[in-house]
Structure 1
Amino acid sequence: MISAAGRRTWRVSTHAAAALTLTLAVTGCADGSGTGSAAGEVTSITVLDYYTDESEHAQWNEMLGACGKAAGVEVEHTSVPPASLVPRVLRQASSRTLPDLLMLDNADLQQIARTGALTPLDRYGIDTTGFAEGILSAGTYEGEVYGLAPYVSTVALFYNKDMLAEAGVAVPRTWDDLREAAAGLTRPGRYGMAVDASATFESSWQFLPFLWSNGGDERRLDTPQAAQALRLWVDLVSSGSMSRSVLNWTQAEVHDQFAAGRTAMMINGPWRIPALNADEDLNWGVAPVPVPRTGQKPVTPLGGEVWTVPQGPSEARQQKAAQVLACLNSPANTLTLAEQHFTVPSRTEVVARYAERNPSLAVFVESVEGARTRTAELGARWPRAATGIYTAIQSALAGEQTPEQALRHAQRIATGD
């Protein structure tokens, strides 16, 4: 789900090299099928993901190739645009032409697993211990683990330190603080705050910390708690503290507004940090997403992609794919990948060391501890709720409906009424 713009060039590190010398958690077996030698030995597997950004595709291509080499196979790596991945997977599932190894946004795993297209990872002896409960649940469907995420992410509040200091504004911790800070930071040519309020799942993703931290629930969108959260965003726009153009801004465009000094604060993810660090004139900080009341902790959504082994005609190919999946999720490689992509490693044994080495990501590490998966309550029905949420955001911020009216309509979308 999350845009990869601005991530740094991938380099093989000593961590990756060390990881590839480890004994993999899964051992392969050949059953006489697949591509390769005259004896039918599997010598290559196919991989599909949505890492179309040139640098990111190259990063993953190198890591997949290294893990493939450790498993004794060549990796044929294909990337498609994010919006094309699930439709393609559903078509391939019906025609039984799925790749051997498949990456999915964790919010999409439920609907794909429900079709029977994926295989439980315990079939291959993959050890799923050592992952935080919330992270492991992102790859679980009906009690079976179908996917593992090498790293995860969430969102936080980025702010321009110089602008806050100049305006005498403290970093906002509560919603009231946020309203005051955004107003105090707004100037001609500059807004105090920016979010992604576009008609996409990115908008729903950014709204969830406000919904959940106020006690709202995606199972019932037409509640006072949900309306209060949406009212906050409406107030920021109607007061002039946030541009009405957020209705059209993606997360990447929100970042661009922040980097250009046209907004003093923004909600965004850790994958923006490399680009922020590259701007020597930008003095920025990061804090937890503001909460309704003092003393609360924000409840943020868990982002990241899970790697899965689809059903296929060759058990031997599935075994090789599982070996590569296990390699990607080894402790050393989760650390390496998280550092490369400015995300949070998924293994608990790695997280503390990671936070010490990457202080700018400490807020994200802390937020991930209590983060929720988007499919935790609704499972495969989450995309309908997400559509309802961003539809309500669009309507309310455009002034077409009140937050209450917009969320009643969202609830009808979510339930199919």
Structure 2
Amino acid sequence: MSTQPRRRAAALALAAVPFLVLTACTGGGSGSDATAGEDEELTLTALDYYTDEPSHTNMGDRLNACAAEVNATVEHQSVPSNQYNSKVLQQISSRSLPDILMVNNPDLPQFAETGALRPLTELDIDTSAYYESVLNVGKFDDELYGLAPNVNSLVLFYNTTILEEAGIEPPTTWEELRSAAEALTTPERYGFVYSGQAGTEGTWTFIPFLWSNGGSQLELDAPEAVEALDFYTKLALDGFVSTSVVNWTQADAKDQFAAGNAAMMINGPWQIPSLNDTEGLEWASVPIPVPEAGMDVVAPLGGELWTVPVTDPERERRAAHIVECLNSPETQLETALTNNTVPSNREVARQLIEEMPEMQSIVETVSTAYPLTGDSGTKWPIVNEAISVALQSVITGQADPQTAMETAQAAVSK
């Protein structure tokens, strides 16, 4: 795989709440033939981690609405997210996977590597309208295994009132971001905030800086990676970002921004409802600044994938129809409007912008985004921990960027 993802215009994957209103599905792939309704009735099984209500019931209704188009019903089971991977791995081991399996996208390489998932290219599912970047999220070893109806990513949110009063334009480059963060920092307010907490949230927030600078998750001691870490952490070491970010989740960063304690933040569109509910807060967003003007930001994509485990041809055919139905344009737009996500279908994403202009920067970011595990594959858990430790060690003054990344690379190379 390329060590410079930005040349392939292609967590914590954050779950979109399932569909709240049922709409008719349209599909032109495996399950759209006229004889589908004449098949013998079949009961299929599905597994996800939507245990909360009404999410569980809504998803069950959606699955069965899609299944009805191919004369099938679905037995729907949800397992808590903290138990999900162990459940799936046990089912893989015992060859008892369901017919339809939801996968958190960073986990796809781990499951696909076992051979338990059917490549969707073998099931005649039409993906021609999808962003290439979104299709890449569902790939392992260049084979498509999963489809994400909707995705999300990260952008730079800014307080429009604060920036306008300071006469500062939203930054688009690293130099502009640093200058703006410095100018907007006061004794009562930091110029910028992000999640630096140990774990996926902190790592995920840093990844756009690594990738946009041409760095790779598997070459963490390379100059591009060290430079990205140096720029990112120096904002905190120089006082423009609170060093307390080492303890802050993305929700904590949002709270600081919403309270006026920071003028800008990196976060995702799942924070939009809370921001809109904050009295007196005027905000907007732009893509995350890049090293130099004219570059594309390369941010990681979040979202769940629907996959078809290996069973038998007839079950797989009907399961593939359901997966395609779950990805219908109507459902994608409905979900995007409800949950502030981006449809995987390019045309539907354009419709979203017309109805929700505030999603413009998110849609723009998705078009050049990259799978979170795109250059790390099954090594992602190791990479995640290594980058997390590097971030923490630099911000807390325990190591310089070069040493921190050399240590991180040593962990990844084991």
Query: TM tier, shorter chain?
Result: 0.7 to 0.9
Equivalent of 1:401 in 376, 399, 406: 399
Deviates more, 1:385-394 or 1:49-58: 49-58
TM-score (norm 1): 0.87
Q: Which amino acid aligns with 1:271?
A: W
Within a 5 Å distance, the mapping from 1:20-59 to structure 2 comes to 20=25, 22=26, 25-27=29-31, 41-43=41-43, 45-52=44-51, 54=53, 56-57=55-56, 59=58
1:55 and 1:255 map into 2 onto residues whose CA distance is 26
TM-score (norm 2): 0.87
- Match of 1:306, SS? strand
| Aligned-residue RMSD, C-alpha | 2.6
Task: Check whether the contact 1:154–1:270 (CA below 8 A) recurs between aligned residues.
Answer: yes
- Match of 1:384, SS? helix
> By how many angstroms is 1:4 displaced?
5.4
- Match of 2:362, SS? helix
1:91 and 1:371 map into 2 onto residues whose CA distance is 32
Summarize deviations over 1:296-315 as a string: whole Å, max 9, x none.
33221222221101234x55
Summarize deviations over 1:13-48 as a string: whole Å, max 9, x none.
xxx52x33x35633399xxxxxxxxx99423x3322
Q: Which amino acid aligns with 1:131?
A: Y
Within a 5 Å distance, the mapping from 1:297-376 to structure 2 comes to 297-312=296-311, 315-376=313-374
Q: Which amino acid aligns with 2:83?
A: S
Q: Which amino acid aligns with 1:154?
A: S
2:357 and 2:399 map into 1 onto residues whose CA distance is 42
1:10 and 1:280 map into 2 onto residues whose CA distance is 28
- Match of 1:218, SS? coil
In structure 2, relative to structure 1, the CA distance for the partners of 1:170 and 1:123 (3 Å cut) is closer
Structure 1 gaps of 5+ residues are 30-38
> By how many angstroms is 1:53 displaced?
5.3
- Match of 1:181, SS? helix
Summarize deviations over 1:386-415 as a string: whole Å, max 9, x none.
222112111111111111111111111212
Task: Check whether the contact 2:27–2:328 (CA below 8 A) recurs between aligned residues.
Answer: no
Aligned to 1:415: 413
Aligned to 2:128: 129
1:233 and 1:144 map into 2 onto residues whose CA distance is 34
In structure 2, relative to structure 1, the CA distance for the partners of 1:64 and 1:40 (3 Å cut) is closer
Task: Check whether the contact 1:10–1:58 (CA below 8 A) recurs between aligned residues.
Answer: no
Aligned to 1:110: 109
2:120 and 2:233 map into 1 onto residues whose CA distance is 44
Within a 5 Å distance, the mapping from 1:184-333 to structure 2 comes to 184-312=183-311, 315-333=313-331
Task: Check whether the contact 2:215–2:222 (CA below 8 A) recurs between aligned residues.
Answer: yes
Q: Which amino acid aligns with 1:362?
A: Q
> By how many angstroms is 1:323 displaced?
2.2
In structure 2, relative to structure 1, the CA distance for the partners of 1:401 and 1:52 (3 Å cut) is farther
> By how many angstroms is 1:335 displaced?
2.1
Aligned to 2:6: none
- Match of 1:130, SS? coil
1:386 and 1:23 map into 2 onto residues whose CA distance is 37
Deviates more, 1:66-75 or 1:198-207: 66-75
1:377 and 1:207 map into 2 onto residues whose CA distance is 15
- Match of 1:107, SS? helix
Aligned to 1:96: 95
Within a 5 Å distance, the mapping from 1:10-29 to structure 2 comes to 11-12=20-21, 17=23, 19-20=24-25, 22=26, 25-27=29-31
Aligned to 1:392: 390
> By how many angstroms is 1:294 displaced?
2.8
Q: Which amino acid aligns with 1:341?
A: N
